[in-house]
Structure 1
Amino acid sequence: MIRITIVEDESFMREELSLILRKAGYEVYEVQIFQKTYEEILKSHPDLVLLDVNLPVQSGFEICKKLKEKSQCPVMILTSRTQLKDEIHGLELGAEEYLTKPFHKERLLARIQNLLRRSKGFYGSFSHMEDGEGFYLDKNTYTLFVEGQSAVLPETEGKLLELLIRKKGELVTKQELFQGVWGTAEYVDENILQVNMTRLRKSLRGFGLEGRVQTIRGQGYCLERKNYEGEKQDSGRIILGK
């Protein structure tokens, strides 16, 4: 099912849009926390974004620009701003559609259908983004995104980080890492894993993410794992208690 993310701070308008879209057969995600609007949109993995301009904290124009820097996911701006210069500005930032309020629901749905038809092939264009809580990883290109900065990780580092993110803070065993990165748990020198983990830590440190990758001694690694009863943490390494 096609998912449409609504970014609208006026609750009545957001609820009306949600009702219209659900009745039309779309899956809907409503952004209701606007301190980190951009991150909320990415987490929703949309096929299309309906974006208001007058938002708290950060304007829809700024959010549109950031979205278009990372994806071809179509964006339709919905706003009460009727001046031509605002429409031109939104389109120049990459928005595919600009619709002013108030509008008829039939017009909205027709614009959405047309936009999705034109953008066929880009559905789920955020689905390749893994959320590492404080950073994102594009698992197609192994590009690391942290607060407006980005860098492409070497393939091995990218695969390791993807596996760690997927387990959401839980232990990823050495065998799982060998299999996921090198395709086999046999004939792989453990030193290779340690060297690449060291390199990954160094890459993360360059983005202020020092300490995110932790070692479970004798077992494997995890991403920012919480201390459990009977464990001690020392120099970025988790050491199991006796």
Structure 2
Amino acid sequence: MEMKILLIEDDPSIFSMIEERFAQWSLQVVGPENFQKVMDDFIKVKPHLVLIDIQLPAYDGFHWCREIRHLSNVPILFLSSRDHPMDMVMAMQMGADDFIQKPFHMEVLLAKAQAILRRTYDYVEAKMDVTRFNEAVIDYARSEIMCDGAIASLTKNELFILRILVEQANQIVSRDELMRKLWDDERFVNDNTLSVNVNRLRAKLEDIGLHEVILTKKGLGYIAVTQGT
């Protein structure tokens, strides 16, 4: 299996050098499309390892390390040309797995990355099950949805309903389909129970700033609406 590495590095020459060398060991290196929206790429790529420079456009590497740690325990390795000991201390306190200073020898970086990947994935299959929905992030493993720092915890039924609606975003999902899928998953639900769960889910979404993202289509069912539609 080809391992995916998210390299958050704004120096094109360093990025290309790492990408080329890692590819020789079947390590796929991907960079962010927009340094202000790194988490979009993190969620899309679902990397096995993240390499982060400290000095970046918009937000520094510490910011992105914190954001990633809110969602995942994926291994993180910092790269930095700064030599202040506190940088290493801060990186480790935020949950980084290792720290390497620039300029570095490519074989040392490769060896560190391979060692981290072996330690992590030879023993534990770390899975990240998250998705973006409008301005929110849904963490299915934790049964949580986060939006602008606010977090709502969802019941299993609420999360299941949300997942079905989000996977068919901007399409009407009938009540019958929702109840059938809930029953197939061995969750007890009837028509009244479904209404209660949808209403509770909608209220929790509104509490964290997601208003009118699940709409009722009378006589048809429900629809999860994405922005811009």
One-letter amino acid of the counterpart of residue 21, structure 2: I
Show the 5 A alignment for 1:61-140. 61-120=62-121, 121=123, 123-126=125-128, 128-140=129-141
Tell me if structure 2 keeps the 8 A contact 1:45–1:124: no
- 1:40: how far off? 2.7
Show the 5 A alignment for 1:225-240. none
User: Residues 154 and 108 of structure 1: is their aligned pair in 2 closer, same or farther, counting only changes over 3 Å?
Assistant: same
Show the 5 A alignment for 1:159-238. 159-183=160-184, 189-224=190-225
What is the alpha-carbon distance in structure 2 between the residues aligned to residue 18 and residue 123 of structure 1? 24
- 1:7: how far off? 0.7
What is the alpha-carbon distance in structure 2 between the residues aligned to residue 176 and residue 27 of structure 1? 39
> TM-score w.r.t. structure 2 length?
0.89
The reply on whether 1:41 has 2:42 as its aligned counterpart is yes
Tell me if structure 2 keeps the 8 A contact 1:130–1:162: no
One-letter amino acid of the counterpart of residue 85, structure 1: M
Match of 1:10 in 2: 11
What is the alpha-carbon distance in structure 2 between the residues aligned to residue 221 and residue 81 of structure 1? 52
Question: Where in structure 2 are there 5+ consecutive unaligned residues?
Answer: none
Tell me if structure 2 keeps the 8 A contact 1:47–1:125: no
Deviations 1:164-218 (A, max 9, x none): 1112322223233113323279x95322222211111100000110100012332
User: Residues 136 and 226 of structure 1: is their aligned pair in 2 closer, same or farther, counting only changes over 3 Å?
Assistant: closer
One-letter amino acid of the counterpart of residue 172, structure 1: V
What is the alpha-carbon distance in structure 2 between the residues aligned to residue 92 and residue 225 of structure 1? 36
One-letter amino acid of the counterpart of residue 64, structure 1: C
> TM-score w.r.t. structure 1 length?
0.84
Tell me if structure 1 keeps the 8 A contact 2:182–2:189: no
Measured on the aligned residues, the alpha-carbon RMSD in Å equals 2.3
Match of 1:56 in 2: 57
User: Residues 202 and 5 of structure 1: is their aligned pair in 2 closer, same or farther, counting only changes over 3 Å?
Assistant: same
Tell me if structure 1 keeps the 8 A contact 2:152–2:205: no
Deviations 1:133-163 (A, max 9, x none): 3111121231111122223111111111111
Deviations 1:88-125 (A, max 9, x none): 21111110010111222211111011111222255553
Tell me if structure 2 keeps the 8 A contact 1:142–1:159: no
Instruction: Report the identity percentage.
Output: 28
What is the total number of aligned residue pairs between the two structures? 226
User: Residues 8 and 122 of structure 1: is their aligned pair in 2 closer, same or farther, counting only changes over 3 Å?
Assistant: farther
One-letter amino acid of the counterpart of residue 154, structure 1: T
One-letter amino acid of the counterpart of residue 13, structure 1: I
Deviations 1:66-97 (A, max 9, x none): 22233210000111112222112111111001
One-letter amino acid of the counterpart of residue 3, structure 1: K
The structure 1 segments of at least 4 consecutive aligned residues displaced by more than 3 Å after TM superposition are 121-125, 225-228
What is the alpha-carbon distance in structure 2 between the residues aligned to residue 198 and residue 161 of structure 1? 12
Tell me if structure 2 keeps the 8 A contact 1:21–1:27: yes
What is the alpha-carbon distance in structure 2 between the residues aligned to residue 149 and residue 227 of structure 1? 22
Question: Where in structure 1 are there 5+ consecutive unaligned residues?
Answer: 229-242
User: Residues 210 and 50 of structure 1: is their aligned pair in 2 closer, same or farther, counting only changes over 3 Å?
Assistant: same
